[in-house]
Amino acid sequence: MSRYKDLTGRVFGRLIVQSLAFIKHQRPSWLCLCSCGNKKTATAANLLQGYVRSCGCLNRDVRRERFTTHNMSKHSAYRSWEAMIDRCTNVRNKDYPAYGGRGIAVHFPWFDPRVFCTYMGEKPQGCSVGRIDNDAGYFPGNVEWQTPKQQGANKRNNVCPGGLAARARKLHMAETTLRKRYPR
Ligand SMILES: [Zn+2]
């Protein structure tokens, strides 16, 4: 027990840690109480890295808030936006390792569906959001509506010679260029 950091009483988002639940493969999991009243067990790593911040009610509330304040869910690009954010930020998404997990990031203003949908425009039938440079992230200039055929071609060339750092640099460069072009 003393080998593990005691998280009892710590607060992570809506969760407050109550007690050690179990230790599996030397990774401690903690029993937490969510502010909504539900219980949630999470690994220390997930808590400390901010991946788990509620029993699940936080995401639900965020989604509902988006729905009511923006009413963007009716936009034809909305589902694509939702899927993009999820595969890049949700460690539990099955596609996360190929996206967020390998450094594919989302241009920060695009976390607002209004900004993304306005940029992309209406989604052509059967198309999905593709990246022109498959090793770089989702940012203006690197995304377009692609047909399934284009998407398939991209996947075959899915090599990342520079690794994570190169992709991060590319995104950073793009962001820097944008900031110069559109200073706030
Ligand atoms: Zn909750």
- Structure tokens belonging to residue 28: 């401690």
**Between the CA of residue 25 and those of 28, 41, 50, 99, 101, what are the distances in Å?**
8, 16, 21, 26, 22
Token pair 């390792």 in the structure block, residue: 97
- Cβ contacts of 2 within 8 Å, gap of 6 or more: none
For residue 31, the CA-to-ligand 1 centroid distance in Å is 13
Place of tokens 């990246």: 131
89-142 residue pLDDT tens: 787 889 988 888 777 888 877 878 888 999 999 999 999 999 988 888 899 999
| pTM to 2 decimal places | 0.51
pLDDT score for 154: 63
The tokens 């219980």 sit on which residue?
39
What per-residue confidence (pLDDT) applies to 159?
Answer: 40
Rounded to whole angstroms, how far apart are CA atoms 174 and 77? Answer: 23
The list of the chain residues with pLDDT below 70 reads: 1-2, 65-70, 154-184
pLDDT on residue 174: 54
Q: What is the DSSP letter of 138?
A: B
Which pLDDT score is estimated for 143?
A: 93
Residue 121 is predicted with a pLDDT of 92
Q: What's the pLDDT at 41? A: 97
Predicted confidence at residue 65, as pLDDT, reads: 64
Alpha carbon of 163 to ligand 1 centroid (Å): 37
Task: Tell me how far the alpha carbon of residue 137 lies from the centroid of ligand 1, in angstroms.
Answer: 31
Residue type at 39? K
pLDDT of res. 107: 84
At 75, the amino acid letter reads: H
Distance from Cα 30 to the centre of ligand 1, integer Å: 15
CA–centroid distance, 166 to ligand 1, in Å, is 38
Strands 143-146 and 128-131 come out as antiparallel
Give the list of residues 6+ apart from residue 77 with CB closer than 8 angstroms, or none.
116, 117, 120, 121, 122, 123, 129
Scan for tokens 């710590």, then name that residue: 10
Return d(Cα 165, Cα 117) in angstroms, integer.
29
